[in-house]
Amino acid sequence: MISTEILELLLSIGYIVLGYLIGMAFAGSFLGRKYMGLMDILLHKVFRRRVTVVQYLYWKYFCGIGDPPKPENLKKLEGRLKQVESLLTGLLALASSLGERRT
């Protein structure tokens, strides 16, 4: 059986978590998404937390932050993505020029 002290401790922790979640929901609705995203980024930098792709996408597209910190795997892919983008742009330009010649 669980003793009353442990039960009170668990209830206290539950109240703290519930209060935190309600406070964050209020702050997010009152202050706005961009502010909440900026504070999240600040906390990640202060505590040196690793940034994931999901957090990057959340900050960039949901919070509307222009240049959020990128995760390591996106930093590695960035150069390759630029190469693929330039290759696709060239192929599309070639295809459109071939289409214009036929007509």
Task: Specify whether 61 is located in the same domain as 78.
Answer: no
Closest to 41 (Cα-Cα) out of 27, 52, 26, 30: 52
For residue 1, what pLDDT is reported? 67
For residue 73, what pLDDT is reported? 84
Task: Specify whether 23 is located in the same domain as 1.
Answer: yes
Given a cut of 50, the residues of the chain with pLDDT beneath it are none
Task: Specify whether 63 is located in the same domain as 37.
Answer: yes
Q: Which domain holds residue 38?
A: 32-70
Task: Specify whether 9 is located in the same domain as 19.
Answer: yes
For residue 12, what pLDDT is reported? 94
Who's near 15: CB < 8 A, 6+ residues apart? none
**Burial class (CB within 10 angstroms; exposed 0-12, middle 13-18, buried 19+) of 76:** exposed
pTM flag (> 0.85): no
Decide: 70 and 56 in contact? Cβ < 8 Å.
Answer: yes
Task: Specify whether 22 is located in the same domain as 40.
Answer: no
For residue 8, what pLDDT is reported? 93
Distance CA 83, CA 89 (A): 10
Task: Specify whether 58 is located in the same domain as 80.
Answer: no
For residue 9, what pLDDT is reported? 94
Q: Say how many domains are in the chain.
A: 3
Task: Specify whether 52 is located in the same domain as 23.
Answer: no
Task: Specify whether 25 is located in the same domain as 45.
Answer: no
